[in-house]
Amino acid sequence: MSLVLRLFRELRFLLRQRAVAGLLVLAMLLSALSVTTGLAEIAHQRMTLERMILADKADRDGALAKAEDWGSAAYSSFHLTYLPPSDLAFAAMGQRDASPWKHRIHMLALEGQIHAADTANPELALAGRIDFAFIVSVLAPLLVILLLHDLRAGERAAGRHDLLIATAGQSGRLWPIRASALIATLAVCLLLPFWVGAALAGTQLAKVLAVSLLVCIHLLFWAAVSYWAGARAAAGSVILTGLIGFWLLLTAILPAITRVSIERAISIPAGGDIVLTQREAVNDAWDLPKNVTMEAFGARHPEWENYTQVSRPFEWKWYYAFQQVGDQTAEALSTTYREGIRERDQAAALAAFSSPPALVDRALQGLAGTDTRAALAYDASVRDFHTRLRTWYYPKLFRDEPFEPAALSALPVYQPRDERD
C-alpha cells in the first residue's frame, strides 16, 4: 500500500477518536478566532488611519490658512506620521501594542514629541491578545504534545501495542505514519484559517509561504520531541507531565531568564532623562544670550552661519534654532537609548535560539513588520521627516524670505516606509 494511502487510512482511523477530533477542532477554532480578531483589529487600525489622515490634512490646512509668517506656520501645523499595518500584521501584532505607530509632530524639538505614547488600556495590554503568533508559538506545541504523547503508551495501556506491531509487520509502518497524519492534520487545522485570512488581507504569497513553512517547522520540532518522549516505555501520563514541563521550560522559563539577563546586561538610559535634558536646554535658551544658541546651531548647520544675527528680542529663526539645539543636547542620550533598544533586540534574537517558541514569535513579528526593528525603523522615518521639515523651512526663516502662503502647498508630506518601498 502506498504511503499516501496509509496516511489517509490512519487519518480516517484517528479522526474517529473523540479526543483527537476534539483537539483538532479546538486548534482550528482557536486559529480562526485569532485570525478573525487580528483582521478586525487591523481593519480598525486602517480605518483609524484613514480618518486621521483626513482630519490631519483638514487641521493642517486650517492652521496654515491662519499663519502670518513662516515661523507661525511651522509652529501651528502638525504632520501625521504613521506606520500602517502590513499585509501580515493581522497574524502577529507584536510591538504594535507596546510601541507607538503614529505621531503628530511639528517643527519644535523632536525629542519632546517622538516619545509620546498613544496609550492603550494598560490592563488589556497586560492580558495580551490571541493573535496567530500566540496560537502558533505558545499553543501549538501544547496541542502537539497532547496529540502525540500517548501514541504508543496509550496502545500499550490498552493492551493493543503488540498486536498492532505484529500485524503491521514493523513499528516503522505504524507510529511514524500515525504521528505524521496527526501533525499534518494539525498543521492544516492551524493554517487553513490563516490562509483564508491572508487571502482576505491580500498578503504576499512569499510571506504566506514563509509563515506556513515556519509553522510546519515549529510543529515538526515539537512532534520530534514528543515522538521521542513517547517512545519511552513509561505511562502516558508520566510522558505528558514531562513534556509539559519541557514546554514550560522552553516557552516561559528560558525566555524569562534571557529577558531579565539581557535587560540587566544592556542598560539603557532612563527615557525620562532624554526629555528632561532636551527641555532644560530649550527652557534655558530663553535666558541665554542669543549668540550662544546661534553658535551652537551654526556648528551643526554651517550653511546658515552667515545668517545667524538676531537683532529683535524674538525672532522665529532663533526660536527654531534653540529647538534644534535642544535636540542636539539630548542627541547623545537619545542615540544611546535607541542603540540600547537595538542591542537588546539583537541579543534577544540570538537568545531566542534557546527557545523555539520565542524564535517563532520573533520570526513572525519580523515577517509582519511588527517587531522592534520595524518600530525603530518607523522612529527613524519620523526623524527623517522632521529633518525634511527643518530643511524646508530653514532657508525661508534664515534668509528671511517674504511669506508666501501659496508656497506652503509644497510642504514635505510624510510617506510611510511600506508604500515607498
By CB under 8 A, the residues from 286 to 345 that bind other proteins are 286-287, 313-314, 337, 340-341, 344-345
The stretch near other proteins (CB under 8 A) out of 182-190, 207-215, 251-259, 403-411 is 251-259
Grid coordinates representing 256 are 524569562
Nearest to 255 by CA among 135, 355, 342: 355
Phi and psi at residue 104, in whole multiples of 5°?
Answer: -120, 120
Q: Which is nearer to other proteins, 123 or 404 (CB)?
A: 123
- Shortest Å distance, C-beta 235 to other proteins: 7
Number of H helices, E strands in the chain: 19, 2
Q: Residues 209, 213, 248, 413: which binds other proteins (CB under 8 A)?
A: 248
Neighbouring-strand partners of residue 248: none
Restricting to residues 253-292, name those near other proteins by CB under 8 A: 253, 255-256, 258-260, 262-263, 268, 270-272, 275-276, 279, 283, 286-287
Q: Which is nearer to other proteins, 70 or 134 (CB)?
A: 134
Q: Residues 69, 154, 221, 411: which binds other proteins (CB under 8 A)?
A: 154
The stretch near other proteins (CB under 8 A) out of 83-91, 98-106, 293-301, 318-326 is 98-106
Q: Does 138 bind other proteins (CB under 8 A)?
A: yes
Neighbouring-strand partners of residue 102: 82
Restricting to residues 100-119, name those near other proteins by CB under 8 A: 102-104, 115-119
Nearest to 98 by CA among 379, 378, 375: 375
The stretch near other proteins (CB under 8 A) out of 192-200, 202-210, 252-260, 411-419 is 252-260
Q: Which is nearer to other proteins, 304 or 321 (CB)?
A: 321
Give the end-to-end CA distance of the chain in Å, rounded to a whole number. Answer: 51
Q: Which is nearer to other proteins, 139 or 304 (CB)?
A: 139
Q: Which is nearer to other proteins, 131 or 394 (CB)?
A: 131
Grid coordinates representing 204 are 504576499
For the chain, what is the largest distance between any 2 Cα atoms, rounded to a whole number of angstroms? 101
Name the 3-class secondary structure at 87.
coil
- Shortest Å distance, C-beta 202 to other proteins: 22
Restricting to residues 11-40, name those near other proteins by CB under 8 A: 13, 16-19, 23, 26, 30, 33, 37, 40
Distance CA 198, CA 185 (A): 19
Restricting to residues 173-192, name those near other proteins by CB under 8 A: 173-174
Q: Does 57 bind other proteins (CB under 8 A)?
A: no
Neighbouring-strand partners of residue 82: 102
- Shortest Å distance, C-beta 411 to other proteins: 19
State the DSSP code for 86: -
Q: Which is nearer to other proteins, 209 or 217 (CB)?
A: 217
Q: Does 48 bind other proteins (CB under 8 A)?
A: yes
Task: Please report, for residues 155, 180, 187, 315, the alpha-carbon distance to residue 160 in angstroms, rounded to integers and kept in the order given.
Answer: 5, 20, 28, 91
| Beta strands in 101-207, from DSSP E residues, in sequence order | 102-105
Beta-carbon count within 10 A of 220 CB: 15
Distance CA 317, CA 301 (A): 13
Q: Does 72 bind other proteins (CB under 8 A)?
A: no
Distance CA 117, CA 119 (A): 5
278 in Cβ contact with 329 (< 8 Å): yes
Q: Which is nearer to other proteins, 188 or 256 (CB)?
A: 256
Contacts of 235 (CB under 8 A, 6+ apart): 153, 157
Q: Residues 351, 367, 389, 397: which binds other proteins (CB under 8 A)?
A: 351
Q: Which is nearer to other proteins, 16 or 420 (CB)?
A: 16
- Shortest Å distance, C-beta 79 to other proteins: 12
Could you please report the per-residue DSSP string of 34-55?
Answer: HHHHHHHHHHHHHHHHHHHHHH
- Shortest Å distance, C-beta 305 to other proteins: 26
How many residues line the site for other proteins (CB under 8 A)?
A: 119
Q: Residues 3, 25, 65, 157: which binds other proteins (CB under 8 A)?
A: 157
